[in-house]
Amino acid sequence: MGIQADAYITVNPSFIEPELILQYSQVSGFVDLMADQQLRVRLAEDDLVVYMKQLNLRTKMAAGQASYNELPGVDIMATMFSTATYLLQVRAEWNHHDVAAGGRWGFAVPEAYRLGGRQGHFQLARDAALYGFNPQIGEGIVNAPGTTTVPLPPDTNGNDTVVTYDNGEMAFFVASQVLALKQRTYQLGMGRLFCILGPQRTLGLFEYNVVQLVQFQRIGAGTTSTAGTFKSILMDNGDTLLWAYDDTLQGAGGNADTDVVLLVMPEVEKPATDKPVNTNIFASMSPGNKVCVTQYCDMAAPREIVSPLAGGATDFLQEWRITSGWTPRPQAVTQILMVYS
């Protein structure tokens, strides 16, 4: 930890460009997997566990032309599940000499520490969302129990890698996974928001290719990419798609050549009808929670605590309490394992 801003020698006359060449990192789209596309700000700073309550219904009925003396009843089972919270912390210390050294190089030391600490928090939050702090107990979206994992099957030509796969068939395969997800969650007939998150090398190919022309006409042939064809299919069904990248999913499928592509519906909509007879009437209970995938935090951004130190120095602490990625409705998550090449 520290500022490395050494003295330097220049030749004069000369010109020093005032702008800095900054290190750019990938902007992960993991937040798009969450309900409302943001972390759920509901924790107190000292909450250690998040609990969620669930009601399960089992109905038994009697039917006959005559009345029964003994009748079955409705079984309602209340259950609760939970996830742990974790406190993230990072600190920096500097004095007026460090500030002067940063000034010679043209940057503000306090702001550099502030933004650097925030980036560390957000990157760790991404890791927690996807893989959890304790993956062995099912934390994180990738490790969550109950999610659906599907390997990429061979196309009609026998190709089973991202590089060699038929571009059109890839779009149709991913669209079929959206159909399967909507069937699992009873969302057919309703437009929903979906997010696809995966590494650049895989999803990038889907955006920068063209569906091949074949002996018969098919959607997007000769004009549209795999991603474009897939988006058109979803649009025709009233769905919305968020297309996002995260390179930590590269090689996350068990070996270095197998990538994980996450297909997630962040929120579910209550299946309803305007008819008086509704076979889903129990879902009208209040309050209901539509969240499928989420992550909790105690505030929208890390807390910043500035304290003076002896000798005129400054102590700067940043802390943030978050949970791992949580899937209260694991049916809304599909992990597609794709061999790259």
Strand partners, 10: none
**Dihedral in degrees, nearest 10, Cα atoms 176, 266, 325, 289:** -130
| Residue 304: its H or E element | strand 303-308
Domain boundaries, the chain: 157-294+328-339
Q: 287-340: per-residue pLDDT in tens? A: 999 999 999 999 999 999 999 999 999 999 999 999 999 999 999 999 999 999
Closest CA to 92 of 330, 328, 309, 267: 309
Percentage of the chain surpassing pLDDT 90? Answer: 91
Quote the tokens at residue 47.
Answer: 């909450």
> Cα dist. 331→146, 158, 254, 281 in Å?
7, 29, 22, 21
Confidence band, pLDDT 50/70/90 cuts, at residue 222: low
For the chain, what percent of residues have pLDDT higher than 70? 97
pLDDT in tens, 159-217: 999 999 999 999 999 999 999 999 999 999 999 999 999 999 999 999 999 887 654 45
Strand 49-59 and strand 74-94: pairing?
Answer: antiparallel
pLDDT at 269 over 60: yes
pLDDT for residue 214: 59
Model confidence over 225-259: pLDDT tens digits? 999 999 999 999 999 999 999 999 999 999 999 99
